Amino acid sequence: MKRRVAVLGATGIVGQRFVQFLADHPWFELELVMASERSAGKIYAQAVTWVLEKPIPKKAYELKLYPIDIDLVAKEKIDIVFTALPADVAKELEPQLAKKGIIVVSNASSMRLESDVPLLNPEVNADHVDAIEVQRRNRGWSGAIVKVPNCTTAIATLSLKPLVDVFGVGKVIVSTMQALSGAGLTGVPSMFILDNLIPYIEGEEEKVENESRKILGIFNGNNIEFNKEISVTASCHRVMVLEGHTEAIFAELKSKTSMDEIIKVMEEFKSNKIKNMGLPTAPEKPIVVRREIDRPQPRLDRLEGNGMSIVVGRVREDKTLNGVKYVVLGHNTIRGAAGTGVLIAELLVKKGYA
Amino acid sequence: MKRRVAVLGATGIVGQRFVQFLADHPWFELELVMASERSAGKIYAQAVTWVLEKPIPKKAYELKLYPIDIDLVAKEKIDIVFTALPADVAKELEPQLAKKGIIVVSNASSMRLESDVPLLNPEVNADHVDAIEVQRRNRGWSGAIVKVPNCTTAIATLSLKPLVDVFGVGKVIVSTMQALSGAGLTGVPSMFILDNLIPYIEGEEEKVENESRKILGIFNGNNIEFNKEISVTASCHRVMVLEGHTEAIFAELKSKTSMDEIIKVMEEFKSNKIKNMGLPTAPEKPIVVRREIDRPQPRLDRLEGNGMSIVVGRVREDKTLNGVKYVVLGHNTIRGAAGTGVLIAELLVKKGYA
Amino acid sequence: MKRRVAVLGATGIVGQRFVQFLADHPWFELELVMASERSAGKIYAQAVTWVLEKPIPKKAYELKLYPIDIDLVAKEKIDIVFTALPADVAKELEPQLAKKGIIVVSNASSMRLESDVPLLNPEVNADHVDAIEVQRRNRGWSGAIVKVPNCTTAIATLSLKPLVDVFGVGKVIVSTMQALSGAGLTGVPSMFILDNLIPYIEGEEEKVENESRKILGIFNGNNIEFNKEISVTASCHRVMVLEGHTEAIFAELKSKTSMDEIIKVMEEFKSNKIKNMGLPTAPEKPIVVRREIDRPQPRLDRLEGNGMSIVVGRVREDKTLNGVKYVVLGHNTIRGAAGTGVLIAELLVKKGYA
Amino acid sequence: MKRRVAVLGATGIVGQRFVQFLADHPWFELELVMASERSAGKIYAQAVTWVLEKPIPKKAYELKLYPIDIDLVAKEKIDIVFTALPADVAKELEPQLAKKGIIVVSNASSMRLESDVPLLNPEVNADHVDAIEVQRRNRGWSGAIVKVPNCTTAIATLSLKPLVDVFGVGKVIVSTMQALSGAGLTGVPSMFILDNLIPYIEGEEEKVENESRKILGIFNGNNIEFNKEISVTASCHRVMVLEGHTEAIFAELKSKTSMDEIIKVMEEFKSNKIKNMGLPTAPEKPIVVRREIDRPQPRLDRLEGNGMSIVVGRVREDKTLNGVKYVVLGHNTIRGAAGTGVLIAELLVKKGYA
């Protein structure tokens, strides 16, 4: 039987992606869309400024848009809520939903670093999901809150995971060229970015540096321990690209290897944490490695694996760091937000949490 | 008396900048412009596809454009030749000019790493200029070849120089977002870069890694020794910006310091190598540090100091590298090419080499 | 049985669209791809700089790319050749193919205005196809040449056809904002168009003005008569959009009507010339009319009807011209080139010409 | 003695241009800058998000920014107020200023069509300025309100004026490609316009159609009569250009002429209405005609005549309209707003109204 799901914050750009992934999902039925007061009362298609590459799914077109309302969520017997809300709103609201027995899959940055809150990038750390049990014990909830990582971090950690497992990773430098969609529908005025770039994204660098160590850490049965071997430093920049974050990554490796070997472990990294689970949104190849000298490129590669694969290119030796440098691209509102959110929800269903 | 100067490769984008800087120069008289056969015979204004922000200087407008011709350069009694030629053409041609007693200030990458060829970023290593004497001895030339550094490298090394001098620098990671103009007038088709970026620039990373160590090295009277303390690794990317290269730099520092101190040494770095020389193209402040959270930005900051200043921002501690990270912007065809070329020529005049 | 087809000029942007539409076509088998000498010998995927929104079709991936060779086309028993060649090459080559009994569906501008050469925009003038018989008689060919209209013209005439039929049309003013892809893969350097537009496209205005009158004319059994009532004037401009030509059209109408009536005849214009033929590439609605105040927009609307529908918006009264003004958008390399080419070929099959 | 002037709405993009033109003006002293409550209290440089191509003028840098306050304007004995306010705010506020004896040069659209309010494009209709006397009589004001035309209209009417005078003009079709700056600093989100265009600008077409007839009309001593011969229809579109509106204009001419003759009257149109007045902001050539096939282009031509000249190109015969078609470019926030505002104020001083 299909789970009844809702999207909170359904008109923003991540909300649109949630709606796109959920409208025709085999396991989920999109029952409810909510957004700010301003657009409430309209039907979804009228209220949203839709910007995705494909039209609004037919099932979502006529959905009535409600203002954010926890009681209505409960009354509608929603099993899973997907949130794309501002962090301060989410911080207040999500615990109330969890208390009411609802599973919250949240794209908001609040609570991401708390040790009993799974911060899931499923192919990397699906096993952290069991921290839900600790969370329920700690907080007395019948529902749960699970967090989607920051977009840049989701992409970076998926590319780093096979290196961490096989060679060990120490220092990591991440320099990003991030898409406009990451700032939301109206976040970056065109007068500010045309023939320009903006070398600052609020809070982003700290998120990459901290969340990476949690995602690449270990759940020890009681809490999630941050990875202590790895040390990440980031510089984050906005460029004139619609969708797709590109990251230049430089990583110190603990053991010597060849570039061919690195490419091999990346290509063979087959979603090990969720292997054979049959999750519908899991891409066949989480990491695609391209050999062309000038790839990955956002416009050409961002929809690889339906937007759920990351694309790595330019794998080359880094003598300064005794390691490797490469470029990785991921779709920021799919792999880095809504797509991973839906994949998490599928994992929760499979593991019996939802 | 004004030096008689020529520009070879005068119709390309660096050639246009040379013409712009030389047409009304107090020390130089632009006598001759040369370009490929195709446009020869026309007047400059007809042959060039001018793309700079100001119109063609009046003095250059009617200059007759000649095909590349060494004999004509000699016959016209040119003192200094500025070249913006492809590396393979330059490699052949520049030594012949030097042999004929002409001073060549070259933007081409050929010969940049040879130990008797000054690779000058004047505020950083003006003292390397005396390698000209070794060069003349070695090669039996009465003229000389002096090289302008790679654009990305010129910007990076100027920002690093005060750190190298005051704190010592070890590992350096450079990740760039480079302007379209660096690829020349027609180098990047719009179909390839709109809503996109290209994470590869041929030969660029090697240039940054190698030239940096030469520029930050020492001329010992016999040859130029590369800096052995510093180790640079680069990842270079093209973004949709007309002019101005932005670089995220992460640097390991040999001694502990504060961010305030770092900003102070950068701001106080007053062209020490060319101080009080009165070179017309030298900017008052070679390094401008901005405190706003979201600067430097190429469209807003690239013309700082008439395009000859670099602009640093976002100076912050880097715990991963035990050092500092910051963003630096420089005008790639001025500070990174023609402007620095003209500044070099002024230095050569002042030092009696031209 | 499937027709055996070839694409000549298969690596350019229109060539890529032909390959995309033909690789999995129900009636056609893509047997042969040809391009310039330079890329010949490679497999298609290696030789092409693929820029479309979806990856290279699997069937085309490994096709061997040949140099243009008429004898090979004949030897391979190709039924239909789709050409995306420069006009001067096409002018020479296409008659030779027709002479050998091959059907040529050509995107080149040569011969478009000749009175025995069908210039087909199928929903508008499918009945002109019978000029093939005159052509064969006149020229002694067993094959035939059929022309795809200029991209801007294909879009404009489809939007005008219902107005011509129902109200009569006199003066027409067309002002365009055309996509970069119309200039080919490398036609517009990014340095020329970023923060800019180019108010000139070679030969385009004449094509719109002349071809429109032929497409909207009548085949009288002997030759194609140009429409004498209509008089078109055009101003054509290139803007920074990847795909999709937008046209502001102002039209004098011969009889008075309301805007609602105009919208109605556009929406009800159901491919009348090819109705019920079951052509696979024909869109369900050739003209889609949008009511939003700010549509059509190229990024959001260009793939309407798989790129084969045009999208009209902002239909409003024009008191200056005693008529109507509106904005129309069409996908220039699909509706305006390869898609219409394939639709023409389907018509030829249905009518027994191929 | 210099007039004391103020800018109301000084932080927006037109406000920035006013500040740029007034900070070092020979006849005006910029005494006061005002903006919304939000930024009041700060110094100008802190409050403004400056986006112009040159830095904030030194004189304006430290000016204190006040909230909009009519009493303060009066108290500071301001002679001339330049307003860049929303139309609804202006409608309320500007009459109050005029009542207090202050001269208001307004960029707001309110009152532009009233018959005793001069709508000035000085080279075109400087003689309409004397409607101020009627205005004062009608309304009992000691000050006055004078309006700057809509940006698109200012550019179009300047190009049309010599044609109206020499040949007579009937139907006019205007199709625009307008810059982002026209929508204000944050008016067009980058997610909406990248790889796109927006074929609608609120209220713009009506402004062009109506204001043109007033500007090209006659002041008969009692009121301003609209031009009845001319009939304008417009279609307005936003494209991805920072500054500079490009307009394709098609005009029916009352008498036959040659294209050479048209170019001649445009080039010889020497600000006839303000000839020999010595107004500092008047460009030497109000209309520059370029012969290149692909000009004007916004990035290359918008700063012609310090942004006060319009640039015409592609002058060609229009057989459909029995007239001419051409492309005209003007700087929308200079010629189309603040620059013309300052030119108007200079005219008012010269004529003794301020």
Edge-to-edge strands of the sheet including C287-289? C231-235, C169-177, C245-253, C323-330, C310-318, C287-289
Tell me if B177 sits within 8 A of B237, measured CB to CB: yes
Q: Average per-residue pLDDT in chain C?
A: 96
- Residues present in chain B in total: 354
The confidence band for D340, taking pLDDT boundaries of 50, 70 and 90, is: very high
Tell me if B30 sits within 8 A of B59, measured CB to CB: yes
* Nearest in space to B286 (alpha carbons), one of B328, B253, B323: B328
Per-domain residue ranges of chain B: 3-150+338-350, 151-331
Query: D231 at the C interface (CB within 8 A)?
Result: yes
Which chains have 3 or more CB–CB distances shorter than 8 Å to chain C?
A, B, D
- Strands A28-35, D323-330: pairing kind: unpaired
Edge-to-edge strands of the sheet including A245-253? A231-235, A169-177, A245-253, A323-330, A310-318, A287-289
Alpha helical stretches, state H, chain C: 13-22, 44-47, 58-61, 70-75, 87-99, 122-125, 131-139, 151-166, 190-193, 204-215, 259-267, 298-301, 339-350
Which ipTM was obtained for this model? Answer: 0.96
Farthest-apart Cα atoms in chain C, separation: 60
Q: Do B319 and A293 touch (CB under 8 A)?
A: no
Per-residue CA distances from B181 to A149, A197, B52, B188, D168 (Å): 37, 15, 10, 9, 46
End-to-end CA distance of chain A: 12
Show Cβ contacts of residue B110 under 8 Å, excluding neighbours closer than 6 positions: B87, B88, B90, B91, B94
Q: Which residue of C has its CA nearest to B197?
A: C190
Across the range D191-209, mean pLDDT stands at: 98
pLDDT of C41: 84
Q: Which residue of A has its CA nearest to C55?
A: A300
Query: C294 at the A interface (CB within 8 A)?
Result: no
SS3 content of chain D, % helix, strand, coil (to 5): 35, 25, 40
pLDDT of A34: 97
d(CA D242, CA A191): 6
pLDDT of D182: 97
Per-residue CA distances from C291 to A24, A46, B261, C267, C294 (Å): 27, 12, 61, 12, 8
Farthest-apart Cα atoms in chain B, separation: 61
pLDDT of B84: 97
- Strands B169-177, B80-83: pairing kind: unpaired
> Which strand (E) or helix (H) includes residue B187?
none
Residue B232: which of A233, A299, A320 has the nearest Cβ?
A320
**How distant is the Cα of D291 from the closest Cα of chain C, in angstroms?**
13
pLDDT of B36: 87
CATH hierarchy code of domain B3-150+338-350: 3.40.50.720
Query: C181 at the D interface (CB within 8 A)?
Result: no
Number of C-alpha atoms within 13 angstroms, CB side, residue A353?
A: 29
The residue of B172, B195, B249 whose CB has the most chain A CBs within 10 angstroms, and thus the best one to mutate to test that interface, is B195
Edge-to-edge strands of the sheet including D3-8? D65-67, D28-35, D3-8, D80-83, D103-106, D144-147
Q: What is the pLDDT of residues A240-273, one digit of tens each?
A: 999 999 999 999 999 999 999 999 999 999 877 8
Query: D196 at the A interface (CB within 8 A)?
Result: no
**How distant is the Cα of C170 from the closest Cα of chain D, in angstroms?**
9
Query: A178 at the D interface (CB within 8 A)?
Result: no
Tell me if D207 sits within 8 A of D109, measured CB to CB: yes
Residues of D within 8 A of B51 (CB-CB) are 300
Q: Do D297 and C195 touch (CB under 8 A)?
A: no
The residue of D191, D195, D240 whose CB has the most chain A CBs within 10 angstroms, and thus the best one to mutate to test that interface, is D191
Tell me if A155 sits within 8 A of A304, measured CB to CB: no
CB atoms within 10 A of CB A134: 18
CB atoms within 10 A of CB B254: 15
Task: List chain A pLDDT tens, one digit each, 354 residues.
Answer: 899 999 999 999 999 999 999 999 999 999 999 998 787 789 999 999 999 988 899 999 999 999 999 999 999 999 999 999 999 999 999 999 999 999 999 999 999 999 999 999 999 999 999 999 999 999 999 999 999 999 999 999 999 999 999 999 999 999 999 999 999 999 999 999 999 999 999 999 999 999 999 999 999 999 999 999 999 999 999 999 999 999 999 999 999 999 999 999 999 998 778 988 999 999 999 999 999 999 999 999 999 999 999 999 999 999 999 999 999 999 999 999 999 999 999 999 999 999
Q: Do D177 and C239 touch (CB under 8 A)?
A: yes
Query: C194 at the A interface (CB within 8 A)?
Result: yes
Q: Do C190 and B51 touch (CB under 8 A)?
A: no
Query: D300 at the A interface (CB within 8 A)?
Result: no
Show Cβ contacts of residue D261 under 8 Å, excluding neighbours closer than 6 positions: none
pLDDT of B112: 98
Q: What is the pLDDT of residues D262-299, one digit of tens each?
A: 999 999 998 778 988 999 999 999 999 999 999 999 99
Number of C-alpha atoms within 13 angstroms, CB side, residue C11?
A: 22
Residue B194: which of C49, C180, C195 has the nearest Cβ?
C180
**How distant is the Cα of B298 from the closest Cα of chain C, in angstroms?**
14
Q: Average per-residue pLDDT in chain D?
A: 96
Dihedral of CA C223/C229/C233/C239: which sign?
negative
The one catalytic residue in A25, A128, A151, A331 is: A151
C108 sits in the region (left: phi over 0; alpha: psi -120 to 50; else beta) called: beta
Task: Clarify whether A245 is annotated catalytic.
Answer: yes
Tell me if D33 sits within 8 A of D60, measured CB to CB: yes
pLDDT of D39: 79
- Flag whether pLDDT at B10 surpasses 90: yes
- Flag whether pLDDT at D98 surpasses 80: yes
State the Rg of chain D over Cα.
Answer: 19
d(CA C176, CA D288): 24
Q: What is the pLDDT of residues C181-212, one digit of tens each?
A: 999 999 999 999 999 999 999 999 999 999 99
d(CA D270, CA A34): 61
A286 sits in the region (left: phi over 0; alpha: psi -120 to 50; else beta) called: alpha
Tokens of B309: 């200043």
Tell me if A227 sits within 8 A of A164, measured CB to CB: yes
CB atoms within 10 A of CB C254: 15
- Flag whether pLDDT at D149 surpasses 90: yes
| Domain C151-331: CATH class, spelled out | alpha beta
Residue C239: which of D239, D293, D296 has the nearest Cβ?
D239
CB burial of D9-23 (b: ≥16 within 10 Å; e: otherwise) equals bbbbbbbbbbbbbbb
Angle, in degrees to the nearest 10, between helices C151-166 and C259-267 = 120
Edge-to-edge strands of the sheet including C3-8? C65-67, C28-35, C3-8, C80-83, C103-106, C144-147
Q: What is the pLDDT of residues D30-67, one digit of tens each?
A: 999 999 878 778 999 999 999 998 889 999 999 999 99
Query: C226 at the D interface (CB within 8 A)?
Result: no
Tokens of D29: 């002293």
- Flag whether pLDDT at C11 surpasses 90: yes
SS3 content of chain B, % helix, strand, coil (to 5): 35, 25, 40
Tell me if D145 sits within 8 A of D120, measured CB to CB: no
Per-residue CA distances from C300 to B64, B206, C352, D199 (Å): 49, 42, 37, 12
Query: D53 at the B interface (CB within 8 A)?
Result: yes
Total beta-carbon pairs less than 8 A apart between chain A and chain B: 127
- Strands C28-35, C3-8: pairing kind: parallel
Across the range C216-229, mean pLDDT stands at: 96
